[in-house]
Amino acid sequence: MTDEDPEFEDVEYEDVEMTPAIDTVEYTLDSFLATADVNAVYGEPVEYGDTLIIPAAEVLCGMAFGVGYGEGDAPAGKDEAGEPTDGGGGTGGGGGGGGRVLSRPVAVIVVGPQGVRVEPVVDITKIALAALTTAGFMIGMLARIRNGRIDE
C-alpha cells in the first residue's frame, strides 16, 4: 500500500429523467404536510348559546418513501440462443412509498362566561379492551402456574 492519493477516473453522468418519481414524492409530502394543518387538529367551533365549543384532536402521521435509479453495462456473455453478445445495455428506475395518518379526538375546549376549560375525551372502548386483554393474560398465567407449566 502506498501513501499516494488514488487516481479516480473522470466519470460523466447523464442527466437522469426522474420527474415522475420526484413528482410522486412531492405529492406524497404535500399530502402529509396538509395533515399538520391547524384545521386537522382543531375542528370548527360550535356556538351553543353563550358558550363556544372547540373540538381538538391528536393527529399522528408516519411515512416512508424511496426512489432509485440505475444504469450500467451488462457483461459480455451469451444470449438465450447461445450466441455471443458484446454486453452493453442497462437501465433502471423505481420508486415507492407509503404512509398512514391517524387522528383521534382528545379534548373539547369550552369557552363560556365562566372562563375557559378543557374537557378530556375518554375512549371507554379502548379502556375496556385493555382491561379484557389484561384479564385474559392474567387468567392464562394463573392457569399455567396452577398446572405447574411455567417454562423458563
Confidence grade of residue 13 (pLDDT, cut at 50, 70, 90) = very low
Buried b (16+ CB within 10 A) or exposed e, 5-37: eeeeeeeeeeeeebeebeebbeebeeebeebee
How large is the average pLDDT for residues 130-143? 95
Q: What is the pLDDT of residues 17-61, one digit of tens each?
A: 556 667 777 787 787 777 767 777 888 999 999 999 999 998 888
Q: Is the pLDDT of residue 75 over 80?
A: no
The pLDDT value recorded for residue 74 is: 61
Tell me: the pLDDT tens digits for 98-129?
778 888 889 999 999 999 999 999 989 989 99
C-beta of residue 43 within 8 angstroms of C-beta of residue 56: yes
Closest listed residue to residue 110, CA positions, set 121, 102, 124: 121
Are 110 and 116 spatial neighbours (Cβ–Cβ below 8 Å)? yes
- pTM exceeds 0.75, yes or no: no
